[in-house]
Amino acid sequence: MKPVAIIGAGPAGIRAAQTLVAHGVYPILLDEAARGGGQIYRQQPANFKRSPAKLYGFEAHKASALHQTFDALREQLDYRPDTLVWNAEAGLLDTLHEGRVARVEYASVIVATGATDRILPAPGWTLPGVYSLGAAQIALKFQGCAIGERVVFAGSGPLLYLVAYQYARAGAKVLAVLDSSPLSAQARALPGLLAQPATLAKGLYYRAWLTSHGIAVHQGASLSRIDGERRVQSLKWRNAKGEQALDCDAVAFAHGLRSETQLADLLGCEFSWSHLNRAWLPQRDPAGRSSVPGVYLAGDGAGIMGADAAEIAGERAALALLEDLGYLVDPQRCAQLEQSLERIGRFRQGLERAFVLPTDWAAHAADDLMICRCEEVSAGEIRQVVGEGHWEINRVKAHCRVGMGRCQGRMCGAAAAEIIASESGRPVGEIGRMRAQAPVKPLPFGLEIEP
């Protein structure tokens, strides 16, 4: 019989694997990373020595629990690290491992591909020394490095305060945190956030820690531009009081996260517009079933809900898969998991209200702002195509190449959509969805094909 495949060894994929194994299934687990854990519980290279407490802070026990679960599973599944899934279709996955391509046949698949930063660019964002918030965290967690000596953190979302805090704790000089969400938004969001008081408390703790250590935290503050000759030397930011300048040698910014949905798209899953995520997401029922039989979705790859939810959704999706294959599963456990997901969903609504996407971003973006860093397409070039009467995002892409470069719109897609929507006077949910294309990431030249 063809095997069950899981794509992604983050919290969602690992819990899914554990659940399948517990029911006697021997799954294939494919992950592009070298070691299991996913984004939040990313493991440092094997010869690094920092303790879990140093690396994961409050989440150390969860990280250790997940890594231990994974280590215990190793003999009971076909784990393939360093393996990119670059194409997916009914019953087949195309993979790349150490320069060799191969095909994996599957009976059912759980897609648990996680998320990357959501980027709304500021002028100067391609200068060396400017990184996404996630990148800043990876430099520290995975490599023991800071992105510079005098770092400014900007944008919004839960990672903003968390990463600034982690940097300061690790001994980096954090010059300022520029939070684009106004304080009023955070006050309004409080009722939703109280659905998960512990997580709310952590967020408040990070910010309080920063201010009590003399680090400037500004609310309602946005990056106007980043300047420098061949690398970051200074930036300008503004708030209601006007524009201010700051000398720095590194900037990390992002506005929350975006789901990695390309494989779900290639698998033919139906998508719908999510107001909460301000993004097109593959549809999933409360158990994680997609619109395509045999294809299941779990974790942040199908909508941003955070690490705890990813673990729960991974288990729930695996149970759904087992149920559909005729296995006996515990209905009470299924109901419990769905209830937990619902509770976290309420918290998520609060978070999204607290860290609002700056809806006036597109209106403020100057024509010469580079939106696509792969092909260097500017806001003005996108606007020109819209001016010629195009507003459907794939059409606009065909005309000015935004989203067509090597990152396939991962970095520019959200920003391009905001510009098109604002310029064409349509809601951003009504300009269409940027289609994924195989290979979902560039393949090197001169590939060997496995027999």
Partner 1 sequence: MALLTRLAEGDRPALDFTLDGKPAIGLLGDTLLTAVLTCSEHLRGSDFSAEPRAGFCLMGACQDCWVRLGDGRRVRACSTLLEAGQQVIREPGRQL
Ligand X SMILES: Cc1cc2nc3c(=O)[nH]c(=O)nc-3n(C[C@H](O)[C@H](O)[C@H](O)COP(=O)(O)OP(=O)(O)OC[C@H]3O[C@@H](n4cnc5c(N)ncnc54)[C@H](O)[C@@H]3O)c2cc1C
Chain residues in the site for ligand X (CB under 6 A): 7-13, 30-33, 38-40, 84-85, 112-116, 134, 137-138, 159, 162, 257, 260, 263, 299-301, 306-307, 310, 440
Q: How far is the CB of 245 from ligand X (least distance, A)?
A: 29
Q: How far is the CB of 323 from partner 1 (least distance, A)?
A: 33
Q: How far is the CB of 324 from partner 1 (least distance, A)?
A: 32
Q: How far is the CB of 114 from ligand X (least distance, A)?
A: 2
Cβ closest to partner 1, residue 314 vs residue 409? 409
Q: Which does 129 bind (CB under 5 to 8 A by kind): partner 1, ligand X, none?
A: partner 1
CB-based contact 321:20 (threshold 8 Å): yes
Q: Which of 25, 52, 48 is nearest to 37 (CA)?
A: 52
Q: List the structure tokens of 436.
A: 């994924």
Cβ closest to partner 1, residue 18 vs residue 132? 132
CB-based contact 112:310 (threshold 8 Å): yes
Q: List the structure tokens of 260.
A: 């990695």
Rg of the chain on CA atoms, in Å = 22
Q: Which does 40 bind (CB under 5 to 8 A by kind): ligand X, partner 1, none?
A: ligand X
Half-sphere exposure of 439 (CA within 13 A, CB side): 13
Question: Is the CA virtual torsion 156, 162, 168, 172 positive or negative?
Answer: negative
Q: List the structure tokens of 380.
A: 């003005």
Q: Return d(Cα 120, Cα 49) in angstroms, integer.
A: 36
Q: Which does 231 bind (CB under 5 to 8 A by kind): partner 1, ligand X, none?
A: partner 1
Cβ closest to ligand X, residue 260 vs residue 315? 260
Residues that bind partner 1 (CB under 8 A): 32-34, 39, 44-50, 54, 99, 116-117, 125-132, 134-135, 138-140, 142-149, 170-172, 230-231, 250, 260, 373-376, 405-407, 410-411, 441-442, 444-445
Q: How far is the CB of 93 from ligand X (least distance, A)?
A: 9
Q: Which does 315 bind (CB under 5 to 8 A by kind): ligand X, partner 1, none?
A: none
Cβ closest to partner 1, residue 130 vs residue 362? 130
Q: Which does 148 bind (CB under 5 to 8 A by kind): ligand X, partner 1, none?
A: partner 1
At 342, which helix (H) or strand (E)? helix 331-354
Q: Which of 132, 169, 184 is nearest to 153 (CA)?
A: 132
Q: How many CB atoms lie within 10 A of CB 323?
A: 15
Cβ closest to ligand X, residue 301 vs residue 405? 301
Q: Which does 140 bind (CB under 5 to 8 A by kind): ligand X, partner 1, none?
A: partner 1
- Name every residue whose Cβ is closer than 8 Å to that of residue 380 and which is 6 or more positions away in sequence: 366, 367, 368
Q: Which does 9 bind (CB under 5 to 8 A by kind): ligand X, partner 1, none?
A: ligand X
Q: Helix H segments across 374-444? A: 379-387, 393-400, 413-424
Q: Which does 442 bind (CB under 5 to 8 A by kind): ligand X, partner 1, none?
A: partner 1
Q: How far is the CB of 133 from ligand X (least distance, A)?
A: 7
Cβ closest to partner 1, residue 116 vs residue 290? 116
Q: List the structure tokens of 300.
A: 């942040």
Sort residue 332 into left (φ over 0), alpha (ψ -120 to 50) or beta. alpha
Phi, psi of 450 (to 5 degrees): -75, 135
Cβ closest to ligand X, residue 199 vs residue 378? 199
Cβ closest to ligand X, residue 115 vs residue 193? 115
CA 15 to chain centre: 19
